[in-house]
């Protein structure tokens, strides 16, 4: 920022406006900055870029394109082959190949001792999984939907999440609870809740929400190998989506974000199925000359805060896109992180795009109106850029 003579004698805090003048935008500050300031910023950006997440490796060469469903199936198969302590249990996972065909073919390959059909008793088979993990097995518990998991929440929250702490470290809890999360199409209020904020509130749980086939496979493998309870949130609307997935072995560490699109005008922070919405919004904005970072958290507990900070410090604007409701959502936590660590870098308030604050309607047009989508995301980006 070009400073007046007064400012050189009495330096102001970084980002504070001159007396009687409106604060310059980030574009104006860059254009008017003296060489020393620009050099310092470039140096800081290089440091931030070194900490930023990168897109998935390209060393694999040409990769097959498969569905999200098949990526999960591959992850389960490979981990069942790799470790005979791993087993899958849930409603219809065996004979019926899973309600969404994620476990197709696993019963035939691994047998009924490792691919276990259960009655419609979420609390019961979640508890069996907790007990199995306590004695050294590595169960993968499938809920037909996380909306049904509410019946088993005592085992997830009071047993799995707290056992390691309550036992003084004697009982690790290597268990994965997985299934579709959030809304699909016209499943109405009781089958359309996004559960990540509920689960991420609990110390002791790790919460993962992959939005692409590549991420789904790599993160599920990491979740199965983790010695802590992991809540793995999939999506009915994601199962048929396709993406590149390498045939070679790979594992994505939990707690690492991914940069789905790169830009310098604004940042979108998101996770789960909203990653697809964010990418579509970014691609549409690019046609208008607006370039945005899309930071896909992938894991919402723990959060890769350094990836968020690096992006916001570069773009100076942030929109948080989430599937769930506004009140007490994961997005609120992300906004808190940003305002604490990036306040002086912001050129606009952080905005959130989220579901309307109502139970999910059944009527198609009302459901569409309630969900976060591409137009709402684009509108938020333009607001933080003061274009609307």
Q: In terms of DSSP bridges, do strands 258-261 and 292-296 run parallel, antiparallel, or are they unpaired?
A: antiparallel
Active site residue 122: yes
Burial 300-330 (b: 16+ CB within 10 A, else e): bbebbbebbbbbbbbbbbbbbbbbbbeeebb
> 3-state DSSP: the chain helix, strand, coil percent, rounded to 5?
40, 15, 45
Q: Alpha-carbon distance 2 to 342, whole Å?
A: 22
Residue-wise DSSP of 187-243: -TGGG----HHHHHTSTT-EEE---SHHHHHHHHHHHHH-SS-EEEEE-TTTTT-EE
Burial 260-283 (b: 16+ CB within 10 A, else e): bbbbbbbbbbbbbbbbbbbbebbe
Q: Alpha-carbon distance 343 to 240, whole Å?
A: 40
Residue 167 has a CB neighbour count (10 Å cut-off) of 12
Find where tokens 């993990």 sit.
133
Residue 106, judged by CB atoms within 10 A of its CB (0-12, 13-18, 19+), counts as: buried
Contact (CB, 8 A) for 310 and 257: no
Question: Under DSSP, is residue 69 helix (H, G, I), strand (E, B) or coil?
Answer: helix
Active site residue 191: yes
Set 91, 122, 322, 323: catalytic member: 122
Set 56, 191, 345, 354: catalytic member: 191
Q: Alpha-carbon distance 356 to 115, whole Å?
A: 39
Give, as one character, the DSSP assignment of residue 325.
Answer: E
Give, as one character, the DSSP assignment of residue 114.
Answer: T
Dihedral sign from CA coordinates of 196, 213, 307, 275 = negative
Positions annotated as catalytic residues are: 122, 191
């Amino acid at each position: 920022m070009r400073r007046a003579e007064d400012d050189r004698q009495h330096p102001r805090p970084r980002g504070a406006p001159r007396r009687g003048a409106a604060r310059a935008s980030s574009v104006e500050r860059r254009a008017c900055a003296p060489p020393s300031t620009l050099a310092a910023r470039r140096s800081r950006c290089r440091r931030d870029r070194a900490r930023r997440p990168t897109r998935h490796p390209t060393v694999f060469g040409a990769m097959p394109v498969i569905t999200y469903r098949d990526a999960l199936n591959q992850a389960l198969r490979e981990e069942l082959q790799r470790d005979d302590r791993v087993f899958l249990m849930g409603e219809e996972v065996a004979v019926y190949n899973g309600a969404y065909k994620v476990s197709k073919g696993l019963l035939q390959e691994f047998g009924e001792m490792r691919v276990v059909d259960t009655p419609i008793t979420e609390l019961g088979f979640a508890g069996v999984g907790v007990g199995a993990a306590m004695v050294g097995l590595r169960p993968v518990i499938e809920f037909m939907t996380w909306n049904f998991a509410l019946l088993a929440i005592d085992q997830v929250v009071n047993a799995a999440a707290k056992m390691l702490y309550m036992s003084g470290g004697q009982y690790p809890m290597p268990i994965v609870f997985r299934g579709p999360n959030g809304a699909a199409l016209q499943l109405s209020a009781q089958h359309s809740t996004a559960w990540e904020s509920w689960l991420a509130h609990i110390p002791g749980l790790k919460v993962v929400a992959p939005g692409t086939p590549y991420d789904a496979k790599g993160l599920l493998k990491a979740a199965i190998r983790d010695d802590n309870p992991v809540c793995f949130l999939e999506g009915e609307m994601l199962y048929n989506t396709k993406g590149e997935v390498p045939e070679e072995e790979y594992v994505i560490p939990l707690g690492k974000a991914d940069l789905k699109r790169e830009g310098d005008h604004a940042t979108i922070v998101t996770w789960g199925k909203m990653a697809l919405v964010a990418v579509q919004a970014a691609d549409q904005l690019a046609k208008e000359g607006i370039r945005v970072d899309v930071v896909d958290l992938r894991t919402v507990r723990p959060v890769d805060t350094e990836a968020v900070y690096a992006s916001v410090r570069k773009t100076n604007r942030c929109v948080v896109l989430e599937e769930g409701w506004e009140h007490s959502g994961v997005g609120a936590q992300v906004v808190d992180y940003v305002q604490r660590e990036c306040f002086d870098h912001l050129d606009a308030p952080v905005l959130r795009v989220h579901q309307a604050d109502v139970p999910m309607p059944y009527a198609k047009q009302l459901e569409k109106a309630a969900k976060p989508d591409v137009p709402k995301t684009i509108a938020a980006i333009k607001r933080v850029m003061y274009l609307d």
